[in-house]
Chain A
């Protein structure tokens, strides 16, 4: 690599903008889907764990084991089933990582509901299902979303490892840059991934503000 090689070649970015956009979109789908799937699965599992506490320790233990499996390892094990360069090969392991973060979030969130609030709801004649949806889940929102933030940022970052098995969204830029000993794609990939994570994080914080209007009202008084 000579001194003439600049860190970033802007003209290269210009020429490759369409494929970068395509990869960014692919990246976004592969990163967001696991978190949404994880949330959909974590809610019933978390509810069950909060309801029957005996389930909690084994579930968390199992999730800890899943969490300790390197993503690349799970990609490889899934390859014969889901196939090389398929979105599912990336999405399935990341869904399990999201679950590992989100289940404790849901359980802790529900545990954070004050007993007096729960009893008030019962006294007002709320049936369990209505109490859960209208009272307990809204109060659990901040704790659950704290988990969603971690899951989302990690997921966005981890998708790039999928490039090693042929499907990694912006991670492909790392492979491309390495194979051609060329800085620009690598920097483009890193910057876009961090940008995507920061934007997603900001959106979740915004969602939290919208979902918990009472938090601001209380601070205001």
Chain B
């Protein structure tokens, strides 16, 4: 515990371009950018595949294959190929990491909507797109949000790797701390990243409570 007070108690760690606030902001910036990009790709694809029922095997298969991609290797390779200077080489592996859970859960969620429910919606005169937006998405929302939460947590956790190629973020405390055998810094950085991940976890639990219609959440079995 002394290590923690050494790290967090040192005022030098709280200011300047490599202080905790700056690193935290960098970390959040990478993570949000990667998460939003993954969202833009995965949600429409998942909705489309789930709604039409086509390409399901492809969606699930590709997503599983993407899970195997080693983030550290991709980051290093892409940065070597295009050079440091911008942050986007780090975004590519993070987006690749975030897409599978969002895509699969959106697909499975929409796919799993009760056929009777769809028929009833069509029977009430809703069109295909309306059925998707007004019926399928609200019902699938718990599963979709679960996918978003898993993706967000993985992105926040993995964004630490960016530090290895010299980019910023909270990983700097960990990687630099390890390199210089400055363990208080490494542990302090680790605690910060873990705290951030837990905040994300909490935020999604709250979002789930607010966003999911009570009619849906009552029927959802515990997961």
Size bracket of the B interface: 35 or more
Residues of B within 8 A of A177 (CB): 76-77, 80
Selected from A65, A174, A186, the residue in CB contact (under 8 A) with B198 is A65
Taking chain B's interface residues, is the majority helix, strand, or loop, or is none over half, making it mixed? Answer: helix
Contact partners of B11 in chain A: CB under 8 A: none
Q: Chain A interface mostly helix, strand, loop or mixed?
A: helix
A20: interface (CB < 8 Å): no
Q: Which of A53, A67, A186, A193 contacts B80 (CB 8 A)?
A: A186
Contact A181 B80 (CB under 8 A): yes
Residues 157-198 of A, flagged 1 when their CB comes within 8 A of B and 0 if not, give: 100110111000011011001100101001101100110011
Residue on B with the closest CB to A56? B222
Q: If the complex has contacts A68-B197, A70-B160, are A174 and B76 also in contact, measured as CB distance less than 8 A?
A: yes
Chain B interface residues (CB < 8 Å from chain A): 64-65, 67-74, 76-77, 80-81, 153, 156-158, 160-161, 164-165, 171, 174-175, 178, 183, 186-187, 190-191, 193-194, 197-198, 200-201, 221-223
**Contact of B68 with A70 in the complex, beta carbons under 8 Å:** no
- A181: chain B residues at CB < 8 Å are 80
CB distance from A92 to the nearest CB of B (A): 15
A219 to B20, CA, bound (A): 59
Interface size on A, residues (CB 8 A): 49
- Listed from nearest, the 6 A-B pairs whose CB atoms lie closest are A70-B157, A197-B68, A73-B190, A68-B197, A160-B70, A190-B73
Confirm or deny: A98 has a beta carbon within 8 angstroms of a beta carbon on chain B.
no
Q: Are B153 and A165 in contact (CB under 8 A)?
A: no
